[in-house]
Chains A and B, each alone.
Chain A
């Protein structure tokens, strides 16, 4: 190969090389800005207006922060909804994610029928929220439900506003557990068996092996599981919506936004204010989560 051809080909590729990253950067940026940031910005702007969603944009009237004042001081379901959102997140985080991880560790032991258990626990993950709501309706129904039949009680699991949020969290946790289990199991399968053997040689019991060796090695999977738990917790919407449109004890900010904006009501401005508050709440959790993740990165 002569030096001339080398330069020529290098020049050719470098022109392509320059254009490609620019395009590859530009297109996703445009998509993200156009589909995420601009709509988010519009939502924030609309939250300072009163608009019924009908007619030209000139019909929009700016009313300052009144929507926010109304939402936080008068709207009776706002604070309960915030409480339910936090409860949802904490419930998944404290109960169902650890449960999924625990099941994965158990199934990793190659016990008899582990395939069967894997499939059983994973099955709910592929079901839609509508189906999950229905399946649990069969468990929870006051008059014909399995739970009340077993315990001889008359509890209205979906209808009683004091307990239906717990009932809904259990139903959603049922799916979440299987999801976490599968992810975690995949991670566990990927661990070098030599690590375990070495730990056993050194006299560590199973619990110690897991806490000291396996858990730290699983760090990438742990982060994924944590992120998914956050996402599932913050986007909670479908199951309460399926159960009773997020009313009567099952209010979440997301269901309030939907019933204000998407329904016949069309309170676009007010709904946008609720959505913006949800955005702020989510941001707080996301910043918190990122800090935890990044902190680990420094170490």
Chain B
């Protein structure tokens, strides 16, 4: 579009307008004409930060059977635009998340059934296959990496002060009390974007009411104003005095910094917390975690929240065979190894992946997840996206703002749930 401006002095207004129309049309035709989409496999990626983007390109270079073209979109923009993206002309294969969030698009027939690809997949654990399947057992998702949510701390701080990992909720509260009297913030806390506190809610609900209830609640089948959910917030209200103040204005990165600087003692977050530690020479390996302690012995502590990231295939890929081949490649340990090597806050989904280079933190994550009886995804991956983002997120923030108001908050959540799930 620079050319018309250059020609401007010699052209009349009308011919200029016509000319620029022509150039625009030519550019549009040129764009779509230059790539033969039946030969190339296009990939939509949300890995927009520098380091993951580089690793993604390296991983894609390992796929040599077909030519590929990666279109990278900013992470948040990609997530928010997903509905329009899939209904337009999506890339053949795109990055996405397991759970309800994947099944939703399968139900709407916006993605392909890849059961035939899964028939050739090797080394994927059964739990991964289940997380990648629809309710009627068809596979629609290809997992690549995942990471646990847990309570992170700096072992050097624990050693300095003589703290030990709590096994039960009472021990944890005693530890919090101890940290508070030692002048530490017992629990770093962030809730600015609305999704961070979902992790706390998930863990409390999983420990108090169990996995089956949790999944049923998020599917809209249980009452949000019932006693079970109220119990969750009662326990949470006991924890809030130990949590970092003014969480509603804080991002998780800022909260992670307080853990890094030993201002706070623990932080319940996903393992991506490690990214904040990776940059620090002094604290790089000084990070460990314990799983959320048991609250009710009858329920136990055998559920781990571990969101899975991976890929889906568009409903109507322009290069079907190429897309299938690519999906199979994405399931291989070789592909996952490259991504995990670049971002050691994740672990590979494939059980054949090379774990010899894993850090102590990664090895512990593998062990914890292997021992888990059930794996949950995350509130916004286990429930309807509209319910999670427009109802639960704001409700959790309202609770953090004014914990005493929980009854009326849950009352409106239940009413909104009823409206959303029935209309």
Q: Mark A262-278, 1 if CB is under 8 A from B, else 0.
A: 11111101000000000
B residues contacting the other copy or chain, number (CB 8 A): 36
Indicate whether B353 reaches chain A with its CB closer than 8 angstroms.
no
- Find residues 388-415 in chain B having any chain A CB closer than 8 Å to their own CB: 389-390, 393-395, 397-398, 401, 409, 412, 415
User: Which of chain A's residues has its CB closest to B257's CB?
Assistant: A143
Indicate whether B82 reaches chain A with its CB closer than 8 angstroms.
yes
With both chains docked as a complex, state the minimum distance between the C-beta of B106 and any C-beta of chain A, in angstroms.
12
A76 vs B396: C-alpha distance when bound (angstroms) = 12
Indicate whether B385 reaches chain A with its CB closer than 8 angstroms.
yes
User: Which of chain A's residues has its CB closest to B415's CB?
Assistant: A74
A262 vs B423: C-alpha distance when bound (angstroms) = 19
Indicate whether B344 reaches chain A with its CB closer than 8 angstroms.
no
Of B246, B385, B401, B420, the contact of A264 (CB 8 Å cutoff): B385
Indicate whether B79 reaches chain A with its CB closer than 8 angstroms.
yes
Contact A259 B390 (CB under 8 A): yes
A76 vs B223: C-alpha distance when bound (angstroms) = 18
Contact A76 B412 (CB under 8 A): yes
Q: Mark B274-312, 1 if CB is under 8 A from A, else 0.
A: 000000000000000000000000000000000000000
A273 vs B409: C-alpha distance when bound (angstroms) = 23
Contact B80 A263 (CB under 8 A): yes
Contact B419 A160 (CB under 8 A): no
Which residues of the partner chain B approach A143 to less than 8 Å between Cβ atoms? 254
Indicate whether A260 reaches chain B with its CB closer than 8 angstroms.
yes
Which residues of the partner chain B approach A55 to less than 8 Å between Cβ atoms? 87, 108-109
- Find residues 23-82 in chain A having any chain B CB closer than 8 Å to their own CB: 50, 52-55, 61, 63, 66, 70, 74-77
Which residues of the partner chain B approach A248 to less than 8 Å between Cβ atoms? 192, 194, 248, 394, 397, 401
Indicate whether B416 reaches chain A with its CB closer than 8 angstroms.
yes
Interface SS majority for chain B: helix
Contact A266 B385 (CB under 8 A): yes
User: Which of chain A's residues has its CB closest to B194's CB?
Assistant: A247
With both chains docked as a complex, state the minimum distance between the C-beta of B410 and any C-beta of chain A, in angstroms.
11
A159 vs B248: C-alpha distance when bound (angstroms) = 5
User: Which of chain B's residues has its CB closest to A268's CB?
Assistant: B83
Contact B249 A247 (CB under 8 A): no
Indicate whether A245 reaches chain B with its CB closer than 8 angstroms.
yes
Contact B83 A53 (CB under 8 A): yes
Q: Mark B21-44, 1 if CB is under 8 A from A, else 0.
A: 000000000000000000000000
Contact B254 A63 (CB under 8 A): no
Indicate whether B250 reaches chain A with its CB closer than 8 angstroms.
yes
Contact B390 A156 (CB under 8 A): no
Contact B246 A156 (CB under 8 A): yes
A164 vs B401: C-alpha distance when bound (angstroms) = 13
A260 vs B420: C-alpha distance when bound (angstroms) = 12
A247 vs B249: C-alpha distance when bound (angstroms) = 10
User: Which of chain A's residues has its CB closest to B105's CB?
Assistant: A54
With both chains docked as a complex, state the minimum distance between the C-beta of A81 and any C-beta of chain B, in angstroms.
11
Contact A75 B416 (CB under 8 A): yes
Indicate whether B386 reaches chain A with its CB closer than 8 angstroms.
yes
- Given A160-B249, A265-B385, A265-B386, 7 other A-B residues pairs in contact with their CB atoms under 8 A: A54-B83, A54-B108, A66-B423, A143-B254, A161-B248, A247-B194, A263-B389
Closest 10 CB pairs of A and B: A159-B249, A265-B386, A156-B249, A264-B385, A50-B423, A156-B246, A74-B415, A54-B108, A263-B80, A159-B248
